[in-house]
Amino acid sequence: MTAEKQDEVHIVCELRCAPANRERVRELALRFVAPARAEPGCLYYHLHQKLDAPDTFFIIDGWANQAAVDAHAGNEHVAEVMKELRPLLIFGPSLTFSTRVSD
C-alpha cells in the first residue's frame, strides 16, 4: 500500500433523531454532501440511512489526509448546517475515525 493511502482518514458519523424530525434531519444532512465533495482532499462523501432504524443516519466520508479533515471540520458551511441540525438530534454526532489497513 502506498504512503498516500496510509495517510487517508475515513470517518463514520452517526446521527440519530426522533421520528418526528426524520425528514428534516435527512434534508439537513444532505446539505453537507455536495459542498464536502467539492472540498480539496475529499475522496468520497455519502449519506446513509439505517434500514432497521430509519431515524439513524450515517455520513461515511474519506479524506486524503488529516489536513483535509481539519479543513472540512473548520468549514463555515459545516458550522451553519450543524447549528440547525444539532437541536434535532437525540444522539450524535458520534464520530469514528479510521485509517486504511489494506488496499
Three-state secondary structure along 82-96?
HHHHHHHEEEEEEEE
Name the β-bridge partners of 46.
60
**Which bin fits 42, alpha (ψ -120 to 50), beta or left (φ > 0)?**
beta
* pTM, entire model: 0.94
CA distance 18 to 81: 18
pLDDT (average), residues 65-73: 98
How is residue 6 written as a grid cell? 496510509
Could you say which architecture CATH assigns to the domain 3-98? 2-Layer Sandwich (3.30)
Domain limits, the chain: 3-98
pLDDT at residue 103 in the model:
86
- Alpha helices (H) in the chain, listed in sequence order: 3-7, 22-37, 66-73, 76-85
Computed over every residue of the chain, the mean pLDDT equals 98
